Homo-oligomer: A and B are copies of this chain.
């Protein structure tokens, strides 16, 4: 999700009009929330054309909130109950062990709390193949849930050998703690090239998750059912932000939310984001919802080296609430524990699906979600519009209301972030993430009103510390080479 928020909502034309159609007849309004839904006409005598309707979603027309059902019917929770813990720990100690990486543990965390419901462990081959080929899983009752990212555990030949014919294994964290049992395991081939190609749509070198996770991984995948010995904690001072889907649902219930709208991000919040979130709330109120709650949900797992680190982002987000840019009464800030794939249209489905499990029935999607630059070519890796298109057509996400971003930019007349008005385009300034980082690095202030001052200070301090590190490193290297 880029810091510049754009959505090219063109008026329906012969071309764009084919892209979407709403599934049910509904109310129309110029001040519309877009509900993008793909469909092919089933009447084979009709051409396969598409209609795109702008509609005002009334509270009764959308899927009922409070709260949306978890995928598969109920939320998965794989943490062993207190009473069974001692017995399970003792059993785990007797099993062959597999050592996990830091990112493997993030996935154990994700699975154990039910973000990937109904998945109950690392994928076996049938789940892996369905995820890879269909971005979805078929349940026993014939229903389909979205599952666009393979959630898998890789092992090497040596570990496979060691496991031998064991049915269950113990999982040990990178820190050396026994954290889980994986039961009724299945070991199958890890075809890295195929996994990468089908997940990212490229095999170009330089994909962050591939370089960090897949390339160094073993040639086998091991699936099975997880039992996690106790809740995963990071002890980094941010665990209180790591609310599980159940805790989030409890909080939404507690606040008597009748709509929950989720905003996934991995960047600092600027006033354009805030405008969008506040405007979404306003529109949900207009639709008849009485108490829409915003889930501001920064991703907390693995991110690439040049992204702003989690602790800095959380500090920045807390300043945004302190400064009153977002209303703490109607906002919950929590960490989404998933690692980041940067897999664009494939990954945005995962981001949305996980939020269903956390109770969100509205999902805000922007330009080029989960995208990045092509690692070896001078272009975006993904078409910036494919994310929201694919999301709107994804199997298993029909029950989620997709809210595309409206374009926000810096209005140089009003001196604030505002929805872009094409009739006076020259008054607007688009401040990209790169531009923002350049401001922060140089110590120069961005235009007044771009970000709340306390939030901006957090970033300036972070980039100053980076610069200090760089200078120290340069100094050290100069001394060494002298």
Q: Which positions in A face B, CB cutoff 8 Å?
A: 14-15, 18-21, 23, 38-45, 47-50, 70, 72-76, 117-121, 124-127, 129-130, 133-144, 148, 167, 183-184, 186-187, 189, 191, 193-194, 197-198, 200-204, 225, 345-346, 382-383, 386, 389-390, 393-395
Contact = CB atoms under 8 A, between A and B. Distances in A.
A138 B386 contact: no
22 contacts: A14-B184, A18-B126, A18-B184, A19-B124, A39-B140, A40-B127, A40-B139, A40-B140, A42-B73, A42-B140, A44-B74, A44-B75, A48-B225, A50-B124, A133-B148, A133-B346, A133-B394, A134-B134, A134-B136, A197-B198, A202-B203, A203-B203
B118 A44 contact: yes
Contacts of A76: 44
A73 B41 CA distance: 11
A74 to B, nearest CB: 5
B133 A44 contact: no
A395 B41 contact: no
List the 7 closest A-B pairs by CB distance, nearest first: A194-B201, A197-B197, A42-B139, A42-B141, A39-B140, A41-B140, A40-B139
A48 B119 contact: yes
Contacts of A140: 21, 39-43
A395 B15 contact: no
A228 to B, nearest CB: 14
A225 B118 contact: no
Given A40-B127, A44-B75, A133-B390, 10 more contacts: A39-B140, A40-B138, A44-B72, A44-B118, A47-B121, A47-B225, A48-B120, A129-B345, A136-B395, A144-B395
A125 B184 contact: no
A74 B44 CA distance: 6
Contacts of A75: 44
Contacts of A167: 14
B38 A395 contact: no
B126 A389 contact: yes
B48 A395 contact: no
Given A42-B141, A144-B395, A390-B129, A383 B201 contact: no
A193 B40 CA distance: 27
A220 to B, nearest CB: 13
A201 B127 CA distance: 17
Contacts of A15: 186-187
A397 to B, nearest CB: 11
Contacts of A202: 193-194, 197, 203
A73 B48 contact: no
A111 to B, nearest CB: 11
A121 B345 contact: no
A138 B395 contact: yes
A185 to B, nearest CB: 8
Contacts of A186: 15, 18
A324 B270 CA distance: 77
A103 to B, nearest CB: 22
Contacts of A148: 133
A73 B44 contact: yes
A42 B120 CA distance: 12
Contacts of A127: 40, 48
A167 B13 CA distance: 12
A165 to B, nearest CB: 9
A23 B141 CA distance: 8
Contacts of A119: 48
A119 B395 CA distance: 19
Nearest to A165: B14
Contact of A193 (B23, B45, B138, B201): B201
A343 to B, nearest CB: 11
Nearest to A21: B140
